[in-house]
Structure 1
Amino acid sequence: MTWSVIARDPADGAIGLIVASRFFACGAAVPFVGPTVAVASQAFCNPVWGTEGRARLAAGESAQDVLADFVARDQGQAIRQAHMMDAQGRFAAHTGCDCVNWAGHLIADDHSVAGNMLTGPQVIEATSEAYQKHANLPFAERLITAMRAGEAAGGDKRGRQAAGLIIHRGEDHAWLDIRADDHSDPLEELARLWDVAQERYVHFARGMPGRTNFSGFPTREGIDADIADAEAKRIAEGRASRSKAVDK
């Protein structure tokens, strides 16, 4: 199952991982992301590659060394696929020889893509090309656009079911973590959720506490003003809310 992208945003150093698959809740099973590192464990995923890998990469080990150790230790490495980025921005990838075709990976200077059970290599190639082409987009939108290009090129050969996107901005907690666990068009659902996030969530998240600012925004005045401005702008532009929330 699955293809995914790992990347670092050159604008602010944010770490992002996006995944899509004809497999339930792949956004929960595949990504392991931290403030400076990321691991995608897929195919017959081994979650310990994710948890241990994230910790070791954060401690300063190289992606290549960590991945080589996992392959050597895991008797099931032939059915595993993983790619990862270390704290220095270096990538490494492994596609086991028994992963279901088409399976493979691609490493570029600023991102990596890996997938299995795909219609062909054109999926990861189109994903990578779209990521490189759309550097002008906000990071989350750039990742979604890249994956949609991969889907247009064939995607998962079994169809669609789930997708997930997680972004860390220098904190142990995620800045954004959205998923479509069982959906007929999961990447479109991620795009909708990202659009809805512009209404309130991104403004709220701007005031969230962090390691260097334990209190964050201690009052809500600025947050409320930003939310009101965003709503006024949306209405002035004639855009309806895409939220499915229901008010009492």
Structure 2
Amino acid sequence: MTYSIAGFCPETGMLGTAITSSSICVTSRCAFVQSKTGVALTQNITNPDLGPLALTLFEKNQTPEQVIESLKEADTDVQWRQLGVLNAEGEGATFSGEKALGINATASGQNCIAMGNLLHNTGVPQAMINAFEQSSGHLADRLLLALEAGMAAGGELGPEHSAGLLVHAEPNWPVVDLRVDWHAEPINELREIWTNYEPQMNAYITRAVDPENSESYGVPGDL
């Protein structure tokens, strides 16, 4: 009921993910990112505890393969899960349990991983990888392009209802955290939100690190 991609940008150090699902509020329980650490995705019959645990294991210098093995040991119900992790060097690993739902598949590429379950076909994750590898620009845009490519390749067998875009960079907080929690066309809605947010993104970062020189938007009450 979910497909996703995680990616790393070696030029900026950014880490992030884009994800969509037929379920409500998918990003809140399936996608986890930490600056200079990694990305963790836990989906299918989801155990959200595995996301923060994966990031902690990365902080303990485990490799992606070791993190996956540690997660499998930590969860007695792991055969219901689909897991993906990507570290801050762009190295990743994935796992699909024996009880992963429907047509499920994973794919890996340069600085990226992708996976999904209840898919229209097994080619969806590879379509996302191809789109990511062939794109350039801001990591958030590349991840969203990849998610759109997954949708174009068939996406989920049923309709998607939620989607999210989460990117961490130099600040400890996410520079991009955009979510569509329930919508008839969540990926298209997410694209519209990103189109509006991207021109304002750097201004919000400036407000945090250099408020004296931050932009004013002339809102009511702003003197």
Q: What TM-score comes out, normalization by structure 1 length?
A: 0.83
Is contact 1:40-1:84 (8 Å) kept?
A: yes
Unaligned runs of 5+ residues in structure 2 are none
Which residue of structure 2 aligns with residue 171 of structure 1?
171
Q: Secondary structure at the match of 1:198?
A: helix
Q: How much has 1:78 moved relative to structure 2?
A: 1.1
Which residue of structure 1 aligns with residue 80 of structure 2?
79
Greater RCO, 1 or 2 (C-alpha within 8 Å, sep 6+):
2
Q: How much has 1:62 moved relative to structure 2?
A: 1.4
Is 1:223 paired with 2:212?
Answer: no
Amino acid at match of 2:19: V
Q: Distance in 1 between matches of 2:21 and 2:167?
A: 19
Is contact 2:8-2:15 (8 Å) kept?
A: yes
Q: How much has 1:132 moved relative to structure 2?
A: 1.2
Q: Secondary structure at the match of 2:82?
A: strand
Which residue of structure 2 aligns with residue 190 of structure 1?
190
RMSD: 2.0
Which residue of structure 1 aligns with residue 6 of structure 2?
6
Of stretches 191-200 and 24-33 in structure 1, the one that deviates more from structure 2 is: 191-200
Unaligned runs of 5+ residues in structure 1 are 209-215, 229-246
Q: Deviation per CA, 1:176-197, whole angstroms, max 9, x where unpaired?
A: 1000000111111111111111
- Fraction of identical pairs, as percent: 23
Which residue of structure 2 aligns with residue 238 of structure 1?
none
Which residue of structure 1 aligns with residue 123 of structure 2?
122
Q: Distance in 1 between matches of 2:156 and 2:119?
A: 4
Matches within 5 A, 1:140-151: 140-151=140-151
Is contact 2:110-2:133 (8 Å) kept?
A: no
In the alignment of these two chains, the number of paired residues is 220
Which residue of structure 2 aligns with residue 15 of structure 1?
15
Residues 131, 87 of structure 1: alpha-carbon distance in 2 compared, 3 angstrom cutoff: closer
Of stretches 158-167 and 170-179 in structure 1, the one that deviates more from structure 2 is: 170-179
Amino acid at match of 1:173: W
Which residue of structure 1 aligns with residue 114 of structure 2?
113
Is contact 2:109-2:133 (8 Å) kept?
A: no
Which residue of structure 1 aligns with residue 135 of structure 2?
134
Q: Deviation per CA, 1:105-162, whole angstroms, max 9, x where unpaired?
A: 1111210001111111121121111111112x32211111111111011101111100
Residues 127, 87 of structure 1: alpha-carbon distance in 2 compared, 3 angstrom cutoff: closer
Which residue of structure 2 aligns with residue 54 of structure 1?
55
Q: What TM-score comes out, normalization by structure 2 length?
A: 0.91
Q: Secondary structure at the match of 2:72?
A: helix
Residues 138, 97 of structure 1: alpha-carbon distance in 2 compared, 3 angstrom cutoff: same
Q: Secondary structure at the match of 2:163?
A: strand
Structure with greater proportional strand content: 2
Q: Secondary structure at the match of 2:6?
A: strand
